[in-house]
A and B are shown apart, each in its own frame.
Chain A
């Protein structure tokens, strides 16, 4: 399938740097199954033109993804998605998730929820996500 330049949605005036938006979106597209191993990313030039941003910024995002082992540079073809998302060892990924969740838990207790209620919310969310993922 030829890569589409408009798979990314870039907001130049966001507080999140453009290169980071691209990196995050590639991760999200892989996690969501919309990009699979072997797929090619649209070229730097295509993305820069479609989003009307500086190509160097796109190039930086791609280099970052390459360094993270998410994609590989294939001569004459571009950037190819490598397998499923690695993003570090299970330990590292667990740690990353922990950092994401910690502030939310803190906030939940401030909102006056108890442990049981927090568990219930998490279970609900997990169920919903599972339904969505299975539907794909």
Chain B
């Protein structure tokens, strides 16, 4: 099966003084059936990347192919196979929820109303209420329901759970897992809630400095990035260093080192070289995220060490 989405050297610059280079050559491929979680700091360009992938923003350079089409020239057929939940949900405050659903359904050749009814029931969306006074969380669940009604092959969600309470978030994750029961459906979502991503995502991509800093299986990332604590019997020399370390802090005879290419041989090597006790700490996604980003902050403030 061809990839659902292929992003090739995507660049996006926003005009201004000075102009802002948000995406600086992003490469990313999304295979059918994948659930890809897109992580990045605030302002790292996640929303821009998603919008370029949907043809909502025109790339400055490079290309995005979605469901076989160029993203900037999507055919109506391709659009009918896409679902998108934007960060700020567009709403029609004067309509009732039931009417918004009917209005949205009318745009699609295929619409699964029983599914929509079931989702509204689960999320307790009051069908006869007007959209205007709904809470931010309710608006977000409504946007999700509207994006699922036509059972899109590719579902793109921009911070879908940011305004949801914990129970609604769990309900949302459960719904995503039900969707991917069908191996032909693919999900791409950006988030900063790493614990959600750890549950549902099969893959993770980290956007940093306008490029993809890591893309792969979540398990692989956790296997690779580890924190090592090295406790030697004597003070470690000033020359102490670990090649390729993300971060390295030395205090007397103890060093804390984060690496992104962990293997057992490295630990054995350290034990021998420094006559030290080495313990390996597993890091969860949130800790890995911080390690990967902390490193740049430290690099800019070397005086603090």
| Residues of chain A whose beta carbon lies under 8 Å from any beta carbon of chain B | 12-20, 45, 48-49, 52-57, 60, 99, 103, 106-107, 110
Contact = CB atoms under 8 A, between A and B. Distances in A.
Given A20-B219, A110-B277, A15 B287 contact: yes
Given A13-B284, A103-B278, 9 more contacts: A17-B218, A20-B222, A20-B223, A53-B200, A54-B199, A56-B33, A56-B202, A99-B264, A110-B231
Nearest to B275: A106
Nearest to B285: A13
Contacts of A49: 177
Interface string B255-290: 000000000100000010000011101111111000
Most central of A15, A19, A45 by chain B CB within 10 Å: A15
Contact of B199 (A17, A52, A99, A110): A52
Interface of B: 33, 35, 170, 173-174, 177, 180-181, 194-195, 198-202, 217-220, 222-223, 231, 233, 264, 271, 277-279, 281-287
A18 B284 contact: no
A54 B177 contact: yes
Given A54-B177, A106-B277, A107-B277, A15 B222 contact: yes
Contacts of A60: 217, 219
Nearest to B225: A15
A57 B264 CA distance: 23
Nearest to B268: A99
A19 B233 CA distance: 36
Contacts of B180: 54-55
25 contacts: A13-B195, A13-B198, A13-B284, A13-B285, A14-B282, A15-B281, A17-B218, A17-B222, A17-B223, A18-B219, A52-B173, A53-B177, A54-B180, A54-B199, A54-B201, A55-B177, A55-B180, A56-B33, A57-B202, A57-B219, A60-B217, A60-B219, A103-B277, A103-B278, A107-B277
